[in-house]
Structure 1
Amino acid sequence: MVFWFPLVMVALALLCAFVAVQRAPRPLPPGFAADRLIRYIMLFPMGIQGLWGALGHLGFPAETAASIGWAPSPFQFEVGVCNLGIGVVGLIAAFYARWNFRLALAIYALFFLGGAAWGHVIQMMTAGNFAPGNAGPIFFTDILTPLSLLILLAWTRRTAQP
């Protein structure tokens, strides 16, 4: 599940955004498609995947550590709580937040997930750790999720309400 879950979350975000755009009345307002993609990235890869990460690190730390190629550590509690925070805020940002709130979450995700990705790189280079939870899809979503959000938010800056 560690391998597939991030891919499923990205696929659900793309699918839901596509459906929302297809069902919307025409003509589409400027930035509508990008806004829907932002919404569903906030919901799935940020919100639900954040809660999934929290559940893993807080509820099943030994199994989660093994999937990453680590030994269990007390620091997993801290990572789990960070994941819980990003998950809850991602859910709020998906449906109740405005552009500035989403931007703040995207910047936080850039540092949290980007830092995690850097940690994955270090583990791959120094320890040869290519476990699915370290070098699998989670590595790529740790990079692509915040970058895609920041690009989409920059694209919608003029049409969004702060």
Structure 2
Amino acid sequence: MVFWVPLLAWGAALFVAIYMVLKGPRPITIGRVIDQLLRYILVFPVGLMGLWAFMGHVFFAEQAAAAIGWATSPFQFEVGMANLGIGLAGIIGAFVRSAGFRAAVGVVMVGFLGGAGVGHIVQIAQTGNMAAGNAGPILYTDFLTPIAVLGLLLLQKLFFRAPAA
């Protein structure tokens, strides 16, 4: 299951974003595409994956640790709580259209998920840990997700500024 969840979350984000763009007003604009992509990346790969990781580390710690190739640890509770915060912030950020709030979510994700991604690479290099929860899709989405959120926010800021009053 650990292998599929990041792929399903990203697939759902892209599917729903495309659906919402096609269902929305015409003409379709790049600004609307970026907005919908950002919204549904915040809902699925950030929000729901954060909540999924929270539940795994807090309520199913042994299974989560095994999927990552770890022994269980009391630190999983702390990792789970960090995931809870990121998940809730992602869902809130999807519906609160504050660029500052969304940027803050992205920055926290860079620190936490980016750091986790670096940790996965170190574990692969030092121990050969190729467990699905360490070297599978989660490794890539630990980098992709925060980069996508911050990159889409940057595109919005650079190319779709509100006209001067």
The TM-score bracket by the shorter chain reads: over 0.9
After superposing the two structures, state which structure 1 stretch, 2-11 or 23-32, moved more.
23-32
Tell me the C-alpha RMSD between the 2 structures.
Answer: 1.2
Return 5+ residue gaps in structure 1 as ranges.
Answer: none
Amino acid at match of 1:111: G
Give, in angstroms, the shift of residue 160 of structure 1.
6.1
Listed as ranges, the matches of 1:25-44 within 5 Å are 25-29=25-29, 31-44=31-44
Cα distance per residue 1:12-53 (max 9 Å; x no partner): 000011001101111235511101000000000000000000
Amino acid at match of 2:93: A
Equivalent position of 1:139 in the other structure: 139
CA distance in 1, matches of 2:138, 2:50: 11
Amino acid at match of 1:147: I
- State the percentage of identical aligned residues: 49
Amino acid at match of 1:47: G
CA distance in 1, matches of 2:138, 2:51: 14
TM-score under structure 2 normalisation?
0.94
CA distance in 2, matches of 1:3, 1:57: 16
Residue 111 of structure 1 pairs with residue 111 of structure 2: yes
Return 5+ residue gaps in structure 2 as ranges.
Answer: none
CA contact 1:34–1:156 (8 Å) conserved in 2: yes
CA distance in 2, matches of 1:74, 1:139: 22
Give aligned pairs, total.
161
TM-score under structure 1 normalisation?
0.96
Cα distance per residue 1:46-73 (max 9 Å; x no partner): 0000000000000000110000000000
After superposing the two structures, state which structure 1 stretch, 20-29 or 119-128, moved more.
20-29
Equivalent position of 1:74 in the other structure: 74
CA distance in 1, matches of 2:32, 2:152: 11
CA contact 1:46–1:90 (8 Å) conserved in 2: yes
CA contact 1:17–1:36 (8 Å) conserved in 2: yes
